[in-house]
Structure 1
Amino acid sequence: MKILVIGSGGREHAICWKLAKSPLVDKLYAAPGNAGIFRHAELVNIRVDDIDNLLRFAKEKSIDLTVVGPEVALALGIVDRFEAERLKIFGPTKLAAEIEASKAYAKQFMRKYHIPTASYMAFEDMKEALRFVKASSYPLVIKADGLAAGKGVSVVKNYEGAEKTIKDMMQKRQFGAAGAKIIVEDFLVGEEASVFAFTDGKSVLPLIPSQDHKRVGDSDTGPNTGGMGAYAPVPFVSEKMQKDILDLVLEPTVAGMAEERRPFR
């Protein structure tokens, strides 16, 4: 079996490391990969957003399965393009990936389907956003609507911090078009956990919970990154909590996406 993994981060390194151990895998490629992935796969110098050349490579090499890591490739519709050519690929379609590519869409979706989420407001006008945060209690969380490589989220402790963050995103375009629209939401207190699951668009198979550490500095300091590291399992996520997450978040999300005619697979 020939497999192509798309991406160049630690996530793709872990995927390649595990796939390379499988007796079912005869050849493993990574595009573009990184120095660590080089130990496990043949690197291919194609950017994750170069869908045309990724598709060409998959056809030329008769790739049996493509595994997509980065959200940007999913948001650009790589799955739709590959499936149109009858190539097998692991990931959601462009429509389904909007739940990751647009925080405003994700929040609207959760509100519509009664999925627990922090209270929020969405803004496309900077002056309206500034008026809102001036009258708000702190801390607040400010998020760029679009994809920002995991860096588009800021926790602000006062109006001065909120004003700077909003102006950086909406006026200075710190994250380009991704910050043209922002989300301002309540800050939730507590431990953070990440829960992943496999789904065929109908049934849900959760994996064990993990905890992602995003901030660049030790002791949870500095700005957010796409992720400095993660560990699993996490001791504070009980079996009951896992069941609640399945019942209240995962299953309603998959059912809601199907209802919206953009099934998440």
Structure 2
Amino acid sequence: YESIGIDTVLMSVNDVIAQGAMPVVYTDEVAAGDSKWFQDEKRARDLAKGFYTVCKMVGMALPAGESPSLRYLIKAEPPIKNAPSLSGCVTGIIAPSSRLITGQKLQVGDRIIGVTSSGLHANGISLVIKRALALPEKFLTKLPNDNRLGDEALIPTRSYVALVKALLEAEVHIHTFLPGTGSGVSKVAFDERPLTYRIHTWVEVPPLFRFMRELGVSLKDSLTTFNWGIGYYIFVPDYEVGRTIQIGQQAGYELVEIGQVEEGKRQVIFEPENITISPPGE
């Protein structure tokens, strides 16, 4: 549950920093369908440790939280008997105000830089659970890299706070920050304008995602569900590519120029797999 706590906080943190804000306060909510869920002291300590780990890492205060028992609202699906709903709120500060990133500067010719993920990043977990429960060994199933499926699924989400902070402090001209969560690679086409996003290069695909393909998950479903190895996208003008990658690497991240923004229909052309992906929600 420590890893789950880390995931919970970073889902909010990595979204907030996409606006150019630095996180300063986090408040959590752990809601369960039955008050018995809260009686496991080790689980509670591990979850709280996960929250605290991220707060300490990125410099946030953790002043309060809420832990309601919502019997009629939160019901686990068998074979799970009891499970919580984990959520939270991050307050960020944009200072100076000139650091605000809205995405409005996105334009044709922008380069797309991908920053590697650590693994699942809590997105697509329902699909992973469904596939895992159908296996004889379930979450104890060994992957080709000798790790257990459950261990791979619990690799903590990566924080991109240090990366965003370094780029902002260096005054790199950022047109868009985009968290690689929700809708997989199709999220690259987040802007509603008629723009084509051509992906010509990709990174190594994490073992868990490759294993999902072996279990029969289609390529399209994989690319629109999992982050597929990229946890954060940065859109910059051509002249900022080299500086962005250098600063990111100095901050401890792996960055790769993976594509560009072009005129055309709103879609993602994923050349590494020769497939075209529709925008999120289509």
TM over 0.5: no
In the superposition, the TM-score normalised over structure 2's length comes to 0.28
Greater relative CO (CA pairs within 8 A, separation 6+) = 2
